[in-house]
Amino acid sequence: MSTTAEAMRSAEAHSAHNYHPLPVVVASAEGAWMTDVEGRRYLDMLAGYSALNFGHGNRRLLDAAKAQLERVTLTSRAFHHDRFADFCTELAALCGKEMVLPMNTGAEAVETAVKTARKWGYEVKGVPDGQAKIVVASGNFHGRTTTIVSFSTDHEARDHYGPYTPGFEIVPYGDLTALAAAVTANTVAVLLEPIQGEAGVLVPPAGYLRGVREVTRERNVLFMADEIQSGLGRTGKTFACEHEEVVPDVYVLGKALGGGVVPVSAVVADRDVLGVFRPGEHGSTFGGNPLACAVALEVIAMLRTGEYQQRATELGDHLHRELNLLVGGGAVTAVRGRGLWAGVDIAPGHGTGREISERLMELGVLVKDTHGSTIRIAPPLVITKEDLDWGLDQLRSVLAAG
C-alpha cells in the first residue's frame, strides 16, 4: 500500500513515460465507480476506452473467468480446447459471418486484418505480388505497431518510427469522393473506423459508410470496419456500422470483447476472406486461449440480450440532450458522438482538455482529453441514470467555473 504521491513517484522513476496519466492511483473498482489508494471514489466516465463497456467487476464476467481459471487457462493453438469452437461459432453468429480469427490486442487484430486483405488480394483478387494497396482515413487510430503507425497522420504516434511500411493510401475521413478516387485495380481493402474515437469521437457525414460499402462492392475491395472501440454496444447497436445498415466484409474487434478482464480481439469475416489462411501462415500463442474464450463467450451472451445496446441508446440520448444544451453557452463549442459516447470540444480560454479533466478529477469524475481541447465521455454501459446525471452536474460546474 502506498499513497498517491509515492505510487506516482515510483511509476515516474521506473516506467517509460509513454503515457501521461491523471494523478489518481486506483486501488479497486465496481460498476462505474473506482476507488483510489486513499479511499476517494471516482465515477469512471472513460471505461478503458470502451474495454469496460460492462463495468468494473461485472458479476457474470467474473464468474465466467473464475470458473475457467480453475479448469484450464492456456493450451496454445497446438491443441484444441473445449471453449474454442463455441467462441468462434458464437462470435461469428453475432457478426453474421462465417469465420473468426482470434488474437489478443486490438493492434494485433488490425495487423491480422491487414495481412488478411493482402493475402486475399494476391490469392483471390489477383493483384500482382507486392503491389497491394489499402485505403485508410486521415485522423485514424488503429493501434501502435510499426505497420499501423506507418499510416497514422498523428505526429506523436508516427514520428521517428520509420522506415515505414508502404502500401497505404490516406484519404480525408468522411470524403467519399476522395476515397473512391483513391481506389485502383491494386486496392485490396478500405480500412476505417465507423466513428473515429481517438480523433475526438468523429461521426462521418450521413451516407458515408453506405457510400464506402457501395464503392468497395463495385470495385471488388474489402470493406474492413475497425469496430474495436465503436462496436459491442457503445453506440446503441452491436456495431456502429448498423446505424447506416451497412455490413462490412471484415469486422475488427477488441476492447469490450475481453469484458475488461483479459485482452481478446478478433477478425471476423466470411470463408471467402478468412479462408485464405493455411496452417503456419499466421498465429498467436495466446490468441483464442481458454480463459479469453470463456470471458468473451459471456460477453457475446450479454450482447445477445440487446439490453446493453438499449441502455446505450436511452442513456446516450439523455447524455447528448444534456451535452447539447452546453453548446453555445460559452465553454463548449461542439459535441459529437452516438450512444453513450461523446466528444466535447472546449472553447479557447476555458482550459485545455487536460485542465478540464484534472478539475473533473478533483470533483470525482474521470474522463480523458484528446487533441488538446476535446474531452471524451464514454462511461460503462451499466452506469445508472442517477450517476450519469451526477457526472454531468460535475461537468457543468467545472465549465461554469472556467
What is the contact surface with ligand PLP in residues (CB under 6 A)?
49, 105-107, 110, 141-143, 193, 197, 226, 228-229, 254-255
Q: Which is nearer to ligand PLP, 105 or 313 (CB)?
A: 105
The CA-atom distances, in angstroms, between 383 and each of 320, 353, 389 are: 15, 23, 10
The closest residue (CB) to ligand PLP is: 106
Whole-angstrom distance, CA of residue 206 vs CA of residue 214: 14
Whole-angstrom distance, CA of residue 252 vs CA of residue 226: 5
Q: Which of 236, 240, 229 has its CA nearest to residue 376?
A: 229
- Whether residue 255 lies in the annotated active site: yes
Specify whether the CB–CB gap between 398 and 328 falls below 8 A: no
How far apart are CB 58 and ligand PLP at their closest, in Å? 19
Whole-angstrom distance, CA of residue 165 vs CA of residue 171: 17
Specify whether the CB–CB gap between 254 and 228 falls below 8 A: yes
Whole-angstrom distance, CA of residue 202 vs CA of residue 294: 33
Q: Which three cell numbers stand for residue 260?
A: 475488461
Q: Which is nearer to ligand PLP, 18 or 305 (CB)?
A: 18
Specify whether the CB–CB gap between 395 and 365 falls below 8 A: yes
- Whether residue 129 lies in the annotated active site: no
Tell me which of 54, 84, 141, 151 is the catalytic residue.
141
Q: Which three cell numbers stand for residue 25?
A: 492511483
Q: Which is nearer to ligand PLP, 222 or 326 (CB)?
A: 222
How far apart are CB 143 and ligand PLP at their closest, in Å? 4
Q: Which is nearer to ligand PLP, 29 or 110 (CB)?
A: 110
Whole-angstrom distance, CA of residue 325 vs CA of residue 110: 37
Burial class (CB in 10 A: 0-12, 13-18, 19+), 130: exposed
Identify any residues that bridge with 42 across adjacent strands, giving them in sequence order. 34
Tell me which of 226, 249, 369, 387 is the catalytic residue.
226
Q: Which is nearer to ligand PLP, 119 or 255 (CB)?
A: 255
382: three-class secondary structure by DSSP: coil
Tell me which of 249, 255, 286, 345 is the catalytic residue.
255
- Whether residue 84 lies in the annotated active site: no
Q: Which is nearer to ligand PLP, 141 or 308 (CB)?
A: 141
Q: Which of 401, 146, 102, 140 has its CA nearest to residue 277?
A: 102
How far apart are CB 339 and ligand PLP at their closest, in Å? 15
Catalytic residue numbers? Answer: 141, 226, 255
